[in-house]
A and B are shown apart, each in its own frame.
Chain A
C-alpha cells in the first residue's frame, strides 16, 4: 500500500521568505511523486512531478522539490514567497503504470505582507 504524510495543516511565512512544505511517503515499490496546488474555489493544478529521473525537480512558479529515497521524503521549496503563493498544497504518490493516486491531507500556505 502507498501513503503520504504531510505534517501540520497550516504554514505561514512572510513575503520574501523561504517556503518549505514537507511530504513523506510510504511505498513498497519505487514511487512516482507529485505536488499539486489548489487556489481558493478552484481545481488542482500540477506543480511538479518526480518520475524516477533527476532527483531535484523544478516546477512552475519557482517551486522545486527533491526526492530523497533514504528519508522517504519529497519536500517542496521556494526561495522567496510571493503573496500569490497563498493556496493549499497537496503531495501525492502513485506506483507503477495504471496506479491510483493517493493524496496527503494538504497544507494551507499563508503569506504575510
Chain B
C-alpha cells in the first residue's frame, strides 16, 4: 500500500547515545515533516522539508538534525539523546496541490531515553 513508512517502531536509548529515525514515502510528495507527540501537548513540528535539498526548523528543533536524502526519504537524527526526547515521533508527507490535501502520516516511532 502507498504511504509513509517509519523505522524502527520502537527504540530504547541510553542518555547520550545517538540514533537516526528513518522515514520514506512512495507518493512522490515534495514536502515531508517530522513531529513529536507528547501527552497533553498534541503534535509539535520538529523539522520540515519543502522539497528535496531544503530543510527548515519547526517549533522544537533543539537536539535534532535532519537529512532529506532524496525525494522519498527524510531522516531525523538525535546526536546525544536526552530523557526529554522520550516521545512518539511521526513522519508525514503532504500532497503538492497546495495545502488543501492534508498530510499522510506514518505509524510512528516510540522512543524511550533512559
Q: Which residues of A contact B (CB under 8 A)?
A: 9, 32, 34, 36, 42-46, 49, 51-52, 90, 94-106
- Is B42 touching A51 in the complex (CB atoms < 8 A)? no
- Is A101 touching B108 in the complex (CB atoms < 8 A)? no
- Is A103 touching B42 in the complex (CB atoms < 8 A)? yes
Report the separation of the CA atoms of residues A49 and B85 in the bound assembly, to the nearest whole angstrom. Answer: 31
Contacting residue for B98 out of A97, A100, A103, CB 8 A? A97
Chain B residues within 8 Å of A44, by CB: 43, 90, 92, 103, 105
Number of A-B contacts (CB under 8 A): 62
Can you list 14 pairs linking A and B with CB atoms under 8 Å apart? A42-B107, A43-B4, A44-B43, A44-B103, A44-B105, A49-B102, A95-B99, A100-B33, A100-B48, A100-B58, A101-B92, A101-B103, A103-B43, A104-B42
- Is A43 touching B106 in the complex (CB atoms < 8 A)? yes
- Is A49 touching B100 in the complex (CB atoms < 8 A)? yes
- Is A105 touching B102 in the complex (CB atoms < 8 A)? no
Report the separation of the CA atoms of residues A59 and B103 in the bound assembly, to the nearest whole angstrom. Answer: 15
